[in-house]
Every structure is written in C-alpha cells, then in structure tokens.
Amino acid sequence: MRIVFAGTPEFAVPCLRAATGRNEVVAVYTQPDRPAGRGRTLAPSPVKREALLRGIEVLQPENFKVPVSREALAALKPDLLVVVAYGLILPQAVLDIPTHGCWNVHASLLPRWRGAAPIQRAIQAGDARTGVCLMQMEKGLDTGPVLLKQAIDIGADETGGQLHDRLSELGAQVLADGLGLLRAGIRPVPQPQPAEGVTYAHKLDKAEARLDWNRPATELASTVRAFNPWPMAEAQLAGERVRVHGAVAMPLAHDATPGNVLAAGRDGIDVACGEGALRIRVLQRDGGKAITAADYLNGRRDLVVGA
C-alpha cells in the first residue's frame, strides 16, 4: 500500500516505524520546524528526524487551506493517510483524498478523552483504565468510528510520561494490526462511538500545574503524576516555590490550615490539604535538580517536624 504518514511528536515515532514495516510510506507530513532550547534555534520534530533517517520525503505545510497543499498530497496517490498526533485539523477535502480515507491513532478509549491531552487527563481524573483506538477520521474532533482498540490498566503510581511511552508502543501495535488486515483485503469494521460517555481532554496549561492546597490530597497526587514530566506540578512549600516530581495522598485527619507542613522526615514532607495530606517524596528547587525529600530537608532543617 502507498501510505502517507502525518505526525509530529515522539509519541508518533513507533507508529511511523510500524507503518514502514510492510508498506510503502511515500511521504511524511509533520509540523514546521520550531524554535527550541536556550538558543531558540529551529529544531525538527521527532517524526521528521525518524523520516529522514529512513530516507522518506518530508513535507511541512503550515496547513491545508491553500489548494497547492492539497494538490501536493493528491499527487502522492495515497491508498491511506495515517495520522498520529499531527497537530492540525484536517479538512474534509484532505480526508477524501486517500483511497481508504484517513486513520488516526488516538491514546484513549473513545469517546472518553477526545482532544489534545488524553493521557494526562486520564491520570488526573483517576481513571483505572485507558488504551488506544484506531479510528476512521471524519471532520469532527475525534468523533470518527473506531476500527480497532486495545485497553490497558493505569498503574497506581504511573506518571504521564510512563503511560505515554506504553501507549505509544501500544498504538504502533494496533496500527500494525489494522494495516495487516487491510493488506489482506479485510477492512476493519467501523464501530460508531456511543453518544454517552463523551469527555474532552483539553490542552495542558502551565497555570493548571500550580497545586491548590485547598483541594483534596487525592486530586493533587493525581495531578502530580499526570503532569510529570510536563508541565510538572508546582507548589508553595513553606515560603518557597518548588516543583513536585513525586507525591502520594495520605488519609490523615487534621485541622491544620491547608498548605501547612504537618510532618517532615526521611519518608517525605506531609502538607495539609483540604482533605488529607500530600506526602511529597521528590521535589526540585528553582535552578536545581530533582532530589528526594530527605535531601531537600538537609537544607531546610526548619521544616523537620513530626519525624
């Protein structure tokens, strides 16, 4: 099959590798190079780097609004367009170009968590399970019928980064299964998404990363896990701004003001929340690196209480 692949971040790289397995990937679409690093020099996307290593032509239009962009895609005569975290909404005129339309690999069990950040939102909401769906794309945002899916459990201590990596590999597996069926002349049967259970995974915002000690500890612990490694949870801890890399909720009964330190020792720093307490285990000071609570307390002896 002649496949065109569209993707941008690291999450999409295993799917690109799966697409090249027994198919002809004639071109890769990815977002234009963006400024990155302290020097703000233009950097290629992870998908572009992988495509160039494999000798695949790379195309980077800003969008498909102009006819020349759509004509360039049509000239490739694709049997299928595979889209994985590309970062652009594709108009119907693009979806209609490939013979078999466009497939999308999405990191949730649709219709739950349509949208930009399904991995982090699943953890933040306390979901026990998530997965990957291979979806036939249509004009709506992640509304198309599901062709194949695989579900997995979310680990009790799993971070957004860890779940991202697992779902990235699972997505490649599901895509490979779908492509294998299509090569064999067996088109996966589209299953319309149910109308019930629709939720939206809105794009992550750094402002959300600030922990509000008035919230229940269970919510804050889920946020810490979900936002690791980005944007990373932030908190005011005894007058100092820190980033929280690892924390767990403690079902402690207290009458302390939220934000006060209840105890601090080798096991962590317990901070009073609206309900329970958040035990901070790994944190980072401004300009520093991630360290254990025990190492942090070596420089904050004023906090060692209740140990």
111 labelled binding-site residue: yes
Torsion angles phi and psi, residue 167, rounded to 5: -70, -30
Residue 8 CA to residue 36 CA, distance in Å, equals 14
Q: Is residue 100 a contact partner of residue 185, using CB atoms and an 8 Å limit?
A: no
16 labelled binding-site residue: no
Torsion angles phi and psi, residue 181, rounded to 5: -65, -45
Torsion region of 12: left, alpha or beta (phi above 0 gives left; psi -120 to 50 gives alpha): alpha
Residue 30 CA to residue 205 CA, distance in Å, equals 23
45 labelled binding-site residue: no
108 labelled binding-site residue: yes
Peptide bond into 32 cis (omega under 30): no
Peptide bond into 231 cis (omega under 30): yes
Annotated binding site for (6S)-5,6,7,8-tetrahydrofolate: 108-111
- Which parts are annotated binding residues? 108-111
